[in-house]
Structure 1
Amino acid sequence: MPGVLTLLVLVLLLGSPKGLAVEVLSIHELASHCERLEAEPMSADGQYCVRYIQGFIDGAVATDARVMMNVEGAQETEETFSDRAKRTRVPNNADRFRAARLAGFCLGDPLPLRNVVGAIVADLAKLDHGTAADTPAREAVYKSLMEHYPCPA
Structure 2
Amino acid sequence: MCAALLQAAPARTLEVLSVHELAAHCAHLAAAPEGADAQYCLRYIQGFIDGAVATDAQVMLGVEGAAQREESFTERALRTRLPSHAERSRAAQLAGFCLGSPLPLSAVVAAVVGDLRQLDSGADAGSPARDAVYRSLQAHFPCEEE
TM-score scaled by length of structure 1: 0.86
Output the aligned Cα RMSD: 1.3
1:49 aligns with 2:23: no
One-letter amino acid matched to 1:36 = H
Equivalent residue for 2:14, pick from 9, 22, 26: 22
Check if 1:141 corresponds to 2:133: yes
2:118 is matched with 126
1:84 aligns with 2:73: no
2:74 maps to amino acid: S
* Partner AA of 1:107 in structure 2: L
Tell me how far apart the structure 1 counterparts of residues 115 and 123 of structure 2 sit (CA, whole Å).
15
Count of aligned pairs = 138
Task: Name segments (4+ residues, structure 1) moved above 4 Å.
Answer: none
From the two aligned structures, give the one with the greater helix fraction.
1
TM-score (norm 2): 0.90
Which residue does 1:116 correspond to in 2? Answer: 108
SS in 2 for 1:20: coil
How many angstroms does 1:130 deviate by? 3.2
Give structure 1 stretches of 5+ with no counterpart: 1-13
Q: CA deviation at 1:105?
A: 0.4
* Identity over aligned pairs, percent: 62
User: 2:98 maps to which residue?
Assistant: 106
